[in-house]
Amino acid sequence: MDTPITTRVSVHVLMDIFQLLDNNPLLGHYRVKMALDSLGCRYGHTTVWQLVALYKQAHPFPPQAKHLPTSAEQPLSTTASHQVWFVDVRSLVQIEGQWLYSILIFDGYSRAIVGGGCYERQNLSRVMQVLRQAITHWGAPETIVSDNAGVFLALQPCLAQLGIQGAPITKGHPWQNLAEGGFSIQRRMLDASVVGCTNRDTVYRQHAQFVHDYQFWGHWAHKRQDAQGRIYYLSPEVILGNTKGRAIDAVRLRRVFRLRQVTRTIRQYGQRRLDNFSLYVDQGLWGHTVEVLIYEDMLRIEQAEQVIVSYTCCYNTQQRRITMVDAHTRQQHYSLPVIQLALLALEIVRVVWRMPLYRRLPWSRRMLQAQRMSLFDRFAD
């Protein structure tokens, strides 16, 4: 029969341990053993664990009341398709030192995937691309629920322009976003389908296959019972059907989901510098203000929402700069009549060319003005 713990350990050591736990009730047996070792009392882990258990038995923690989520903390309820969409970004697998990410958008009522894609980045442009494709195909929802990531917070102004309510979840309440909590089993099936993949093309193919198969799997939220009492589950594809949300014009949709928008004034001969490139816009717009809408693969120059010209380009979302403009893809959508005869005779041979970076003047404007005033004073004398 084992010797009682009160016999193996002296009363003096018991009092020291209980006093230590009174001051620090959250300490575990590892920290208590370290404290005993520092005092020169060498006991094994089993003995120390029994000492901590004896203290907790004599000083039980008061029972904590269970926190029941309120109605405001519950996920948004839906009664029809395209009322609430849930979006989330998930890390899939790391290949050659680079992560691949899955972006999925779920419909809250039918549980169907209305938008998805596998990408090498999880930036704003990729989220915009998936959301634009989903709205183009299914129409706009009433509300989009997401977490508090930076890409989703940056997406809020775009959603407001389309009349879509953005609803980030409360921090520490991941269950409010069904894309994180409610569909965890489906997401694990996605993880299982890409684990062990060593090729990007294989991951892309497995991700697309998962999105296709998921639509036809029976979902637990659509539990049914037939006349014989047998239970079966309807698939999200059956529940969603051909239901569409609010239609949005494709031109407006593309205009809203831009990466960057700047205002510029057209210079002489209809040119304008943008980053390190000089672009030819239109001769008749000399001195007019235009809007430059920049996307990841193209830029559009507009005036009063009228497209003037567009170019194919490459935009670096991290540096927020245009790295390439293809002059051969220039497309003139609208041209203004030119009144000056001199401009009619002018022929622009090169419409795009790279220019040097901006350089700060060695002399400030105030110093140049003071120098000019001093020269004028000498001339007056």
244, part of any domain: no
Instruction: Please indicate, yes or no, whether residues 182 and 90 belong to a single structural domain of this protein.
Output: yes
Asked whether residue 341 is assigned to any structural domain, the reply reads yes
pLDDT range class, residue 165, cuts 50, 70, 90: very high
Determine the residue type at 23. Answer: N
Query: How confident is the model over 206-263, as pLDDT tens digits?
Result: 889 888 888 888 888 889 998 888 999 999 999 999 999 999 988 888 888 888 888 8
- pTM for the model: 0.65
**pLDDT, tens digit (0-9, with 9 covering 90-100), for 114-142:** 999 999 888 888 899 899 999 999 999 99
User: Residue length, the chain?
Assistant: 381
Q: Same structural domain for residues 270 and 213?
A: no
Could you tell me if 181 and 274 lie in one domain? no
Task: Look at 27-31, 134-138, 154-158 and tell me which has the smallest mean pLDDT.
Answer: 27-31
Q: What is the mean pLDDT of residues 94-119?
A: 90
Residues 173 and 207 in one domain: yes
pLDDT band at 96 (very low <50, low <70, confident <90, very high): confident
Predicted confidence at residue 282, as pLDDT, reads: 84
Residue 25 lies in a domain: yes
> What is the 3 state secondary structure string of 217-275?
CCCHHHEEECCCCCEEECCHHHHHCCCCCECCCHHHHHHHCCCEEEEEECCHHHEEEEC
284 within domain boundaries: yes
Tokens of 149: 């990531």
Regarding whether 136 and 10 lie in a shared domain, the answer is no
What is the Cα–Cα distance from 79 to 110, expressed in whole angstroms?
A: 10
Residue 130, domain CATH: 3.30.420.10
Alpha-helical segments (H) within the chain:
5-8, 11-23, 29-38, 45-58, 124-138, 150-161, 184-194, 200-214, 236-240, 250-256, 341-344, 365-380
Mean pLDDT of 174-187: 72
For residues 39 and 111, membership in a common domain is answered with no
Model confidence at 341: pLDDT above 70: no
The verdict on 98 and 170 lying in the same domain is yes
Residue 25: pLDDT band (50, 70, 90) is confident
- Say yes or no: 142 and 13 in one domain: no
Q: Considering 173, 208, 223, which residue would you say is the last residue of a domain?
A: 223
For the chain, the average pLDDT equals: 81
Residue 253 lies in a domain: no
Specify whether 217 is located in the same domain as 279: no
Establish if 78 belongs to a structural domain.
no
Residues 148 and 216 in one domain: yes
Count of the separate structural domains present in the chain: 3
Residue 237 lies in a domain: no
Q: Are residues 44 and 92 in the same domain?
A: no
Q: What is the mean pLDDT of residues 301-316?
A: 87
Confidence of residue 356 (pLDDT cuts 50, 70, 90): low
What was the pLDDT predicted at 144? 95
146 or 51: which leads in pLDDT: 146
- b (16+ CB within 10 A) / e for 65-88: eeeeeeeeeebbebeebbbbbbbb
CA 24 to centroid of chain Cα atoms? 42
**Based on the domain organization, do 133 and 172 belong to the same domain?**
yes
| Residue 71 located in a structural domain | no
Q: Average the pLDDT over each of 112-121, 302-311, 367-376 and give the range with the smallest value.
A: 367-376
Q: Are 6 and 16 in contact (CB under 8 A)?
A: no
Range of the domain at 210: 84-223
